[in-house]
């Protein structure tokens, strides 16, 4: 007999963003509609003499096709599926960016530390929120808002200097690129832990900081 959680998960499985085969427009609308995440369109990739260039025009762009296109991006972000659809209809290949400090903050760590932490969290049976993996070899762990303000003190209490660890808390004024946004020719943002019915409720930073700090310390 299925538990209540399993029944809910089964009923909602079809509503989770599919990532593969879905357009950026459809995916952005899903994030707004089903996860209640704010979204906004960023830059996009343009083929110039057979090479994928960022629409910003910078030849040495550090995140081609995957960063904010406007300085006032924070005012552009919307949680409305209708508005999101309208914005991506204007530029269907624009990247999908999610502002932090609203419905979630994100703890960003190097990929190697992130996978080490994921294995440790699994052994500890911690409940995770969604986790992204970017082509620049970073992982972002979604946590409850407010993490950016308290992470430095949490790290100090564990015996580390915040400056000694490659662990960044992204809150108000920052954003993360969402799958399936592409970074030039380097590949696309992926889910290391996909959004599901089970992880709709996000963990607090305090629940994840110990395994993340440990993994970042090992990764130095």
Which pLDDT tens digit goes with each residue over 129-187? 999 999 999 999 999 999 999 999 999 999 999 999 999 999 999 999 999 999 988 99
Query: What angle, rounded to 10 degrees, do the helices at 205-218 and 111-123 form?
Result: 120
How would DSSP label each residue in 11-37?
Answer: HHGGGS---TT--HHHHHHHHHHHS--
Q: Specify whether the CB–CB gap between 137 and 113 falls below 8 A.
A: no
pLDDT for position 52: 87
Task: Answer whether residue 101 shows pLDDT above 70.
Answer: yes
Tracing tokens 């030849």 back to the chain, one arrives at 59
CA 194 – CA 202 distance, rounded (Å): 13
Task: Answer whether residue 13 shows pLDDT above 90.
Answer: no
The predicted model gives 15-37 an average pLDDT of 82
Task: Answer whether residue 12 shows pLDDT above 70.
Answer: no
Higher pLDDT, 9 or 65: 65
Task: Answer whether residue 5 shows pLDDT above 70.
Answer: no
Structure tokens of 84?
A: 């999101």
Query: Strand 168-170's sheet: what is its strand order?
Result: 168-170, 105-110, 138-143, 131-134, 190-193
Tell me what the pLDDT averaged over the chain comes to: 90
Encode 70-96: b = buried (16+ Cβ within 10 Å), e = exposed. eeebbebbbbebebbeebbeebebbbb
pLDDT for position 124: 93
The predicted model gives 210-216 an average pLDDT of 96
Q: Specify whether the CB–CB gap between 182 and 22 falls below 8 A.
A: no
């Amino acid at each position: 007999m299925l538990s209540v959680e399993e029944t809910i998960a089964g009923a909602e499985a079809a509503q989770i963003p599919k990532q593969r085969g879905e357009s950026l427009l459809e995916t952005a609308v899903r994030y707004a509609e089903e996860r209640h995440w704010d979204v906004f369109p960023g830059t996009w990739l343009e083929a110039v003499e057979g090479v994928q260039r960022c629409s910003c025009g910078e030849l040495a762009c550090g995140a081609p096709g995957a960063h904010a296109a406007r300085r006032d991006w924070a005012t552009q972000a919307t949680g409305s599926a209708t508005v999101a659809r309208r914005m991506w209809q204007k530029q269907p290949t624009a990247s999908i960016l999610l502002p932090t400090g609203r419905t979630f903050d994100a703890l960003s760590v190097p990929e190697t530390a992130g996978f080490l932490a994921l294995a440790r969290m699994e052994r500890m049976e911690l409940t995770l929120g969604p986790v992204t993996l970017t082509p620049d070899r970073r992982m972002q762990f979604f946590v409850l808002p407010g993490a950016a303000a308290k992470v430095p003190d949490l790290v100090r209490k564990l015996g580390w200097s915040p400056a000694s660890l490659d662990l960044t808390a992204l809150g108000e004024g920052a954003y993360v690129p969402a799958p399936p946004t592409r970074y030039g020719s380097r590949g696309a943002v992926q889910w290391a832990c996909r959004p599901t019915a089970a992880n709709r409720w996000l963990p607090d930073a305090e629940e994840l900081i110990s395994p993340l700090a440990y993994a970042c310390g090992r990764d130095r």
